[in-house]
Structure 1
Amino acid sequence: MTADAMRAARQVRDALTGVAPQDLPRRLCTAVCRALGADGATLSLLTDTPARQLLGASDSTALLLEEIQFTVLEGPCITAAADGEPVTVQDLRHEPTPWPLFGASMREQLPEVEAVYAFPVYFGDYVLGSMDVLGLSGDTLNEDTLAQGTHVAEVVATALMKVRALLLTGGENPAWEPTDMVRAHWSDTRRAIGVEASRQEVSREDALALLRARAFLTGRTLADVTADVLGRPPGAK
């Protein structure tokens, strides 16, 4: 590990000192941004599965990045989690991506974002989730900083391991804050899938596909469509 990589990893580690478990996702996202010089960051678990759980986002732009990938079921975050390798996209505004729906949605909804860097988060040999970093310019992370990102992702994994009980308890809703974010990206989506499956008399997999198609066709997020199905504002109790 280079001195720079050690410094970035140490910076994230130091930022977590004394942080309460429920505040860990948000503090991690903020620390990752500062350590890597990025414009936004997100964390998610089980990223490439239907049980995906959003842990935290640094700001509204980063949150929308995750909502887009969650809605269209493709993007660098999902690929990094599925393949177990970092994924770099440095010219979203002009260059085609391997994910046509993701690329089109980003250019329409987040035209200010030019680069996305996704890092798998490993627990031992298993990829438990991913860390997304976004940039408003194509050179937000250079080659050295990309190497730092891999080590920072290791620090993130270590931090999450220390509070793994919170990931596995809390009943139907994961025991993370903020509650509205958890609800919109976890329990509400599952409830809406059940409602749609019953209405349309289709499987849960087909119901999720219908909800995603509705979101994409209307230019809305899956969380918004979910709220419509459940008859309440996104994140409302």
Structure 2
Amino acid sequence: MSTIRDEWGENSPLGRLWAMVTALAEERGRELSVEFVCAVAAERFGTAGFCLVVTGTTGVAKLRSTGGELGRRIPEIEATVGEGPVGDALDLACPAVVPDLDAAQALRKWPLFAPLAVEAGARACFGFPLVVGVVRVGVLVLLHGTPIAPEPAVLREALLFADLVLAMLLGEQVAAGSTVPGPAEDEFPLASPAVHQATGMVAVQLNTDPDTAFARLRARAFADGRRLSDVAADVVARRMRFVPDPYIG
């Protein structure tokens, strides 16, 4: 990854950040990886959790790395309700900055996601898109347990961390001889393997396509007030079965 320093220069903001995380990894005896950089960013900004989502050519999102219970819970909530910081950051290719998820503005923005996120313990979230031109590579989401309005300098440094993560992801793909960062096209948004398996089972039960089956699975989780992964586990264990709805299909 020395090309990062070569391209931006040792005295550039990104070059200095690269030198800092490199020294920190050496000091802690850790491998210098995308996951390590995300964890350092979360630690530096005092977050209660983080998640890194990467995308493929179809725009399908998959969790690459998480930190803390919130880092695992928040993407699952977004996958269940279909709205949140990952989707917004990817769709708009600009940061999704929400200093207080319990504020009226956040509730208008994400009427389904915001209340559930607050219930899970998140009060602020910041989604930073990893974008190269028109290509959406992913999103780095930092989560806080209290409302927070970071200073511009803090946001600038967070954006630098996002740039560094982006550079490292692209570097991985170049090293692997691939130009497509992210998951395979048949993987489902932010979903665990159990959700993927359950979606296939529901598609068979309803004699429908995977997208419709996934939507029904999400709707059931939301209606029951349960985690998507828990509903999926019931389907896989055959404790739950979906039947065609004459009004839905």
Shorter-chain TM range is 0.7 to 0.9
Q: Partner of 1:191 in structure 2?
A: 197
Taking only the aligned residue pairs, the percentage that are identical comes to 26
1:108 pairs with one of 115, 119, 134: 119
Q: Aligned residue for 1:141? A: 150
Q: Which runs of 5+ in 2 are unaligned?
A: 1-7, 239-249
Cα RMSD, aligned residues only: 3.6
Contact 1:11 1:35 survives alignment (8 Å): no
In the aligned structure 1, how far is the partner of 2:151 from the partner of 2:134? 27
Q: Distance in 2 between matches of 1:64 and 1:91?
A: 18
Query: Quick one: which of 218, 227, 232 aligns to 1:221?
Result: 227
| CA–CA separation in structure 1 for the residues paired with 2:37 and 2:186 | 21
Change (3 A) 1:160 1:60: same
> CA shift at 1:26, angstroms?
3.5
**Equivalent-residue separation in structure 2 for 1:39 and 1:7 (angstroms):** 25
Task: Report what 2:170 is aligned to.
Answer: 161
TM-score, normalised on structure 1? Answer: 0.77
Q: Whole-Å Cα distance in 2 between the matches of residues 156 and 29 of structure 1?
A: 7
Flag the 1:125–1:20 CA change in 2: closer, same or farther, 3 A.
Answer: farther
- Residue-by-residue CA offset, 1:76-102 (whole Å, 9 max, x unaligned): 121001110001111112332411110
Matching of residue 201 in structure 1 with residue 201 in structure 2: no
Give the count of matched residue pairs.
220
Residue aligning to 1:61: 70
- Alignment correspondent of 1:178: none
User: Conserved in 1, the CA contact under 8 Å of 2:128 and 2:141?
Assistant: yes
Matches within 5 A, 1:78-157: 78-95=87-104, 96-110=107-121, 113-123=122-132, 125-139=134-148, 141-157=150-166
Contact 1:8/1:35 (8 A) holds in 2: no
Question: Of the two, which has the highest radius of gyration?
Answer: 2
Contact 1:48–1:78 at 8 Å: present in 2 too?
no
Mapped to 2, the partners of 1:230 and 1:193 lie a distance apart of 9
**Distance 1:125-1:202 versus aligned 2 partners, 3 A rule:** closer
For the residue of structure 1 that corresponds to 2:112, the secondary structure is helix
Q: Is the 8 A contact 1:173 1:186 kept in 2?
A: no
CA distance in 1 between counterparts of 2:183 and 2:236 reads 22
* CA deviation after TM superposition for structure 1 residue 201, in Å: 1.8
**Cα distance in 1 for residues equivalent to 2:56 and 2:148:** 25
Cα distance in structure 1, aligned partners of 2:23 and 2:62: 25
> Is the CA contact 2:59–2:136 (under 8 Å) kept in the aligned structure 1?
no
In 2, are the aligned partners of 1:52 and 1:186 still within 8 Å (CA)?
no
Q: How many angstroms does 1:117 deviate by?
A: 0.4
Question: Structure 2 length normalisation: TM-score?
Answer: 0.74
Aligned-pair CA distance for 1:51:
3.1
Residue identity opposite 1:139 in structure 2: I
Letter in 1 for 2:117: M
- Give 5+ residue unaligned stretches, structure 1: 175-183, 233-237
Question: Structure 1 residues 65, 25: closer, same or farther in 2, change over 3 A?
Answer: farther
Corresponding residue for residue 82 of structure 2: 73
